[in-house]
Amino acid sequence: MKISRAYKAELKPNNKQIGLFNRSIGCARFVFNWAVRRRRNAYEWCKTFAAYAADDIAEYDELRKRFARSAVPNRVVQSRELTQLKKEKLWLKFPDAMTLVGVIRDDVDSAFKNFFRGCAKGEGIGYPRFRKKGCHESFVVNYQQTKVEKDRIKLGKLGWVRLKRWGYLPQDVHINSVTISRRANKWYVSIQVDEDIKVTTPLGKRLGIDMGMACDSFMTVTEDDGKTYRIKNSLPLKKYSIKLKRLQRGLSRKKKGSKNWIKWKDRISRTHRKIWDIRSNHIHNATSRITYDSSVIAIEDLNVKQMLEMGKGEFGVHGRRRQLSDSGIGEALRQIDYKTKWKGIKLIKVDQKENPSTQTCCKCGNRKRGSDKLGLEDRIYHCNMCGNVMDRDENSSHYLMTFAVVQTGSKTPVEECSEGIPEKQEVGPGRPGKTDTQLLGMPKQKIEKPLTGRYINEEVSEAVIAA
């Protein structure tokens, strides 16, 4: 299987090379602002001309789109204009030609494509904004002139730069792109390469994973043999919130642009970088652990973006949106998706609208509806049909694990959830003529002591032990 894989390593440039990096970032920022201004002026002219020529709103929209396709310059036109701009501003000849062309081809072109796509959908997305100093500090270099060795890398016209970690970047491979970036006074190089990996059919455990919303739970994992364990939530932003408040309060007292203001701003940047490193390391450890020796994984199909965009309500009152963003659930789902593909693991995404794992009992398949639904503050699941009392997340993970068992077992989902249930069942209030036991569930299993580890909670709730 051929994949495109990215590697990111920290650089150890000297003072001269740092100056060259800063100069390249400045040139890339200037070209981006120049290209955006050129396109914005052309688009404004199209709207003004269409307003005078049109008689009604429908004709105005048609003329505006027609003029925009012909008058707004694309990346080919702006690449030619950039050649003439270099003759006027000689200092633009310093960086690599791929650096400036890449800004127009990748950044500017993508920004305006998103803008026009949003206009077509009626989302009201504004123009691409200009870049200012200190933001988007990255640039690309010519990948054809890039060479990788054990302890250093050659970055085109910038020359050889030392690597902090030896032997991490692959050698003698085809490189697709090279990007240099800065984050909190540290420089990084990211390369994208083509690799061939051998995908085999694993023979491991079948897992059901519930992404937790509680403060102490990041994932609740249930294996096919009945073992259940929790992966703790790191929440680094919550840990460093007091320190960030103190630093930001001190920054507000400094004169903007002064040396003390720059020093204080660097301290804030380093703190944010540390928060990002802690969260990234925690997510990679968690996703690597669950994909190490598993064959089938069933997980919730969550729309994290929609959950973050929710207005004031259950999320806003209790600060759930900040907690959800701090835990990094969206990044964890992304990593599970590509790691399962690389390792040949079957991934099952359970739609929460059709099969809400949180509202369904894992013992009998009874589903809570209407006023009986669990809220975010309810952490214990009480089943009114079979009397099951269980932790909310553990009940959900047991229910999801049934999907993984059905994929490799001989029983159907209806048979899997109907074991041990009386023949006479009441009709579900939400679906006339259908019983709640026709939903997926899981037969009663013995819960053993959970696994231990760095991010594993060694305590099991009393409800699980009682079950």
Burial of 308 (0-12, 13-18, 19+ CB in 10 A): middle
240 in any annotated domain:
yes
Give the C-alpha separation, 69 to 89, whole Å. Answer: 29
Domain C-terminal end among 162, 179, 196? 196
Pair 330, 263 in one domain? yes
Pair 256, 404 in one domain? yes
- Each of the 467 residues of the chain gets a pLDDT tens digit; together they read 888 899 999 999 999 999 999 999 999 999 999 999 888 887 776 666 555 455 555 555 665 565 555 566 778 888 888 888 999 999 998 888 889 988 988 888 888 888 777 766 766 677 788 998 888 899 999 888 899 999 999 998 889 999 999 989 998 888 999 999 999 889 999 999 988 888 877 778 888 888 876 667 788 888 888 888 888 888 899 899 999 999 999 999 999 989 999 999 999 999 999 999 999 999 999 999 988 888 888 898 888 877 777 644 444 444 677 888 888 888 999 999 999 998 888 888 888 888 888 888 888 888 888 878 887 777 888 888 888 888 888 888 888 888 778 766 645 444 455 453 333 333 333 333 333 333 333 333 333 333 334 334 433 333 333 33
Token pair belonging to 196: 């061939």
219 in any annotated domain:
yes
| Radius of gyration of the chain measured on its C-alpha atoms | 28
Give the C-alpha separation, 142 to 157, whole Å. Answer: 9
Pair 300, 380 in one domain? yes
> What local confidence, expressed as pLDDT, does residue 10 receive?
93
Pair 439, 457 in one domain? yes
132 in any annotated domain:
no
Identify the domain containing residue 180 by its residue range. 2-12+144-196
Pair 309, 213 in one domain? yes
Pair 66, 210 in one domain? no
Give the C-alpha separation, 67 to 330, whole Å. Answer: 40
Q: Give the CA angle between residues 409, 410, 412 to the nearest 5°.
A: 100
> What local confidence, expressed as pLDDT, does residue 255 receive?
93
> What local confidence, expressed as pLDDT, does residue 69 receive?
56
Distances in Å between the Cα of 32 and the Cα atoms of 107, 177, 282 are: 8, 19, 35
Q: Are 399 and 362 in contact (CB under 8 A)?
A: yes
> What local confidence, expressed as pLDDT, does residue 285 receive?
92
Pair 71, 172 in one domain? no
Pair 459, 352 in one domain? yes
Q: Give the CA angle between residues 188, 193, 199 to the nearest 5°.
A: 125
> What local confidence, expressed as pLDDT, does residue 53 receive?
52
Pair 421, 443 in one domain? yes
Domain C-terminal end among 167, 196, 225? 196
Q: Are 421 and 364 in contact (CB under 8 A)?
A: yes
Q: Are 365 and 440 in contact (CB under 8 A)?
A: yes
Q: What is the pTM for the complete model shown?
A: 0.77
Give the C-alpha separation, 136 to 28, whole Å. Answer: 10
> What local confidence, expressed as pLDDT, does residue 215 receive?
64
Give the C-alpha separation, 412 to 392, whole Å. Answer: 25
> What local confidence, expressed as pLDDT, does residue 292 receive?
87
